[in-house]
């Protein structure tokens, strides 16, 4: 009887110990924190974009400026390319779905994989992601821009509205947090390139180069659905380069802050040890 009781008591202690070890491991509370951080960043990004979307007239004027600039540069091909894509309704519907779901889903999968398999690489990509998002928000606020799908007089077609799913329609759950006048830069493309870079840089799979298809499909989705201009993707790529270039400085700044917070506790521990 005593032996059985002791066994039950030991088993009752094992379960809490295992739970505590799991909770304190990298796939415990830290993982939940990282997931919450990414969702929080996405929510703040949407909220700030929404609050900065009141300059409608400026957004349309800037849209015409972008079209004119692309014409001068000889790269205004969005209308012709979209006309070709519209010959295949199934392809356009696929691009609509990819634009709506591929963006955040691919980011979450990649970040979770990097967090569990490549922690150092994840830390770098998270810093670059936050920097890129902040830079993008600054451009959204400074330069409101109507997307091509709103310039129907030029020949653009709002494929989401015609074929579905209607991302910004009356019944869309994204409409309340969407600023439809924040086309530049395309954060869809910026995030996609960052994801592809991380996978190619840190994965050891011989098939890792296939991840490059994600930014390619994303570029096709944002342009052929008339959600972005070519220059929106170009600006996103430039901001991503800037985010990578200043990342060493951001990293050093973070470690300095950590050092300032840990030094008092270390010195206090040394004083106690001396006593």
DSSP letters, 216-256, are: HHHHHHHHHTTS--HHHHHHHHHHHHHHHHHHHHHHHHHHH
Q: What does the pLDDT read at residue 114?
A: 87
pLDDT, greater one: 251 or 65 = 65
Q: Which of 32-36, 208-212, 240-244 has the highest mean pLDDT?
A: 240-244
**261: containing domain:** 30-274
pLDDT higher than 60, residue 24: no
Q: Which residue has the tokens 């505590």?
A: 20
Any domain includes 3: no
Please report which confidence band the pLDDT of residue 169 belongs to, taking 50, 70 and 90 as the band edges. Answer: low
Q: Tokens at residue 142, please?
A: 């400074």
Of residues 53, 45, 62, the one with CA closest to residue 179: 53
Would you state the pLDDT for residue 65?
97
In a domain, 11, yes or no: no
As a whole number of angstroms, the distance between CA 226 and CA 148 comes to 5
Specify if 8 maps to a domain. no
Residue 98 lies in a domain: yes
The single residue listed with the structure tokens 């990509």 is 125
269 band by pLDDT with thresholds 50, 70 and 90: very low
> With contact defined as beta carbons under 8 Å apart, do 163 and 226 qualify?
no
Q: Average pLDDT of the chain? A: 81
Residue 7 has pLDDT above 60, yes or no: no
Q: Which whole-number Å values give the CA distances from 115 to 30, 102, 149, 176, 250, in the listed order? A: 10, 20, 37, 31, 19
50 within domain boundaries = yes
pLDDT classification of 273: cutoffs 50, 70, 90: very low
Domain count, the chain: 1
Q: Higher-confidence residue: 78 or 38?
A: 78
């Amino acid at each position: 009887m005593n032996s059985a009781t002791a066994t039950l008591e030991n088993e009752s202690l094992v379960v809490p110990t295992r739970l505590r070890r799991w909770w304190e491991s990298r796939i415990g509370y830290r993982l939940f924190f990282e997931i919450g951080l990414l969702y929080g960043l996405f929510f703040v990004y949407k909220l700030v974009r929404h609050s900065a979307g009141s300059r409608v007239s400026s957004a349309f004027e800037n849209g015409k400026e972008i079209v004119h600039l692309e014409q001068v540069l000889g790269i205004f091909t969005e209308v012709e390319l979209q006309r070709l894509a519209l010959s295949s309704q199934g392809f356009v519907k696929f691009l609509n779905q990819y634009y709506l779901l591929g963006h955040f889903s691919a980011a979450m999968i990649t970040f979770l994989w990097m967090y569990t398999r490549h922690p150092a690489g994840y830390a770098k990509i998270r810093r670059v992601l936050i920097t890129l998002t902040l830079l993008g928000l600054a451009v959204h606020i400074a330069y409101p821009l109507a997307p091509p799908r709103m310039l129907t007089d030029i020949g653009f077609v709002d494929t989401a509205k015609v074929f579905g799913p209607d991302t910004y329609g009356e019944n869309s759950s994204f409409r309340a947090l969407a600023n439809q006048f924040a086309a530049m830069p395309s954060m869809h493309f910026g995030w996609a390139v960052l994801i592809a870079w991380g996978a190619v840089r840190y994965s050891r799979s011989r098939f890792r180069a296939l991840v490059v298809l994600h930014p390619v499909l994303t570029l096709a989705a944002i342009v052929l659905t008339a959600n972005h201009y070519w220059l929106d993707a170009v600006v996103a790529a430039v901001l991503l380069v800037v985010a990578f270039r200043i990342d060493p400085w951001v990293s050093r700044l973070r470690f300095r802050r950590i050092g300032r917070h840990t030094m008092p506790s270390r010195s206090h521990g040394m004083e106690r040890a001396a006593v």
